[in-house]
């Protein structure tokens, strides 16, 4: 109890699934807390078991999990953790996650609040009936690009017409540099197969920053880089928040001609997926700051544009 007010003292407890323990450890370090010990394992039939080894009654619980491959396992594990916290009488539960159906599932499981980084579509946050903290890695990425490459003779490039709004935000972050986009078509019968057509905007002789929220198989980005080099770009840098890097992505990105590929560590990027041009920035300080603000009932607004 608080001696002066007679009100219970708030307790922040931090929980991590098994998908990306390195990120969780880094966030915990920034928060100056320990990850709450738990037993988590899979039975022979694939069922996931989670048991917390400390009392969580009355705590303010924050549960982090990266939804990477195998994604269904890690989503289910986080749901089980949230359900276990609810049944063990945690006072408030914040799940740090990614998308619409997932938000519905976590609401049902008992999550009071959702915290996420760079949703593919911002409108998704409206599907959760409760507070949603939609954090952005964009400023972390654009600050890195600005500090390393400057803003002179730079063009921000969207890999397709659908990401031009993101490109405009990047252009603003870089001081009002011009933007361009690649007009392309997809073959509806061949998933992940992209046909790049032409570049719209001035890229010849310029440093082109190709931006996106996620890199999966790398086909779109690799073809965009090749197209820009073919149009006379002086150099090309790729920047994106989430590095899924499925299948041939590392090889494609390594061989496409990009000078550097900059991603964040929202998802684990193991050694076998890394390549010489890859730079990985940590999102942990932003997550830790947001968790602290939520715990202290402060303002998360300043973090919505990545200002950690």
Q: Which of 107, 169, 184, 223 is catalytic?
A: 184
Decide if 148 is catalytic: no
| DSSP string covering 185-243 | EE-TTSTT-EEEEEEES--TTSEEEEEEEEESSSHHHHHHHHHHHHTT-SEEEEEEEEE
Distance CA(115)–CA(209), nearest Å, equals 28
- Report CA-CA distances (Å) from 289 to 23, 50, 98, 115, 116: 14, 27, 18, 12, 13
Q: Which residues contact 114 (CB under 8 A, 6 or more apart)?
A: 94, 95, 96, 97, 103, 106, 125, 128, 130, 131, 132, 133
User: CB–CB of 273/216 below 8 Å?
Assistant: no
3 state SS of 283: coil
Q: Is 266 left (phi over 0), alpha (psi -120 to 50) or beta?
A: alpha
The residues annotated as belonging to the active site are 184
């Amino acid at each position: 109890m608080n001696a002066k007010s007679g009100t219970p003292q708030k307790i922040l407890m931090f929980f991590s699934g098994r998908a990306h323990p390195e990120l969780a450890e880094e966030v915990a370090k920034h928060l100056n807390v320990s990850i709450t010990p738990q037993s988590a394992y899979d039975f022979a039939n694939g069922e996931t078991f989670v048991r917390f080894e400390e009392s969580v009654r009355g705590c303010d619980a924050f549960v982090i999990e990266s939804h990477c491959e195998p994604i269904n396992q890690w989503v289910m594990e986080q749901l089980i953790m949230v359900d276990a916290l609810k049944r063990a009488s945690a006072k408030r539960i914040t799940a740090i996650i990614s998308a619409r159906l997932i938000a519905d599932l976590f609401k049902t499981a008992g999550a009071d609040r959702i915290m996420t980084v760079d949703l593919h579509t911002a409108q998704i946050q409206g599907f959760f009936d409760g507070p949603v903290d939609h954090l952005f890695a964009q400023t972390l990425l654009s600050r890195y690009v600005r500090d390393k490459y400057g803003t002179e003779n730079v063009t921000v490039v969207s890999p397709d017409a659908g990401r031009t709004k993101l490109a405009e935000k990047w252009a603003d972050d870089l001081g009002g540099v011009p933007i361009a986009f690649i007009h392309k078509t997809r073959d509806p019968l061949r998933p992940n197969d992209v046909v790049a057509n032409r570049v719209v905007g001035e890229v010849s002789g310029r440093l082109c920053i190709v931006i996106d929220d996620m890199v999966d198989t790398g086909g779109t980005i690799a073809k965009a880089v090749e197209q820009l080099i073919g149009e006379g770009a002086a150099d090309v840098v790729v920047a994106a928040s989430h590095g899924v890097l499925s299948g041939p992505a590392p090889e494609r990105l390594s061989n496409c001609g990009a000078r550097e590929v900059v991603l964040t560590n929202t998802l684990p990027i193991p050694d076998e997926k890394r390549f010489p041009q890859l730079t990985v920035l940590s999102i942990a300080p932003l997550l830790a700051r947001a968790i602290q603000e939520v715990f202290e009932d402060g303002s998360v607004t300043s973090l919505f544009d990545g200002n950690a």
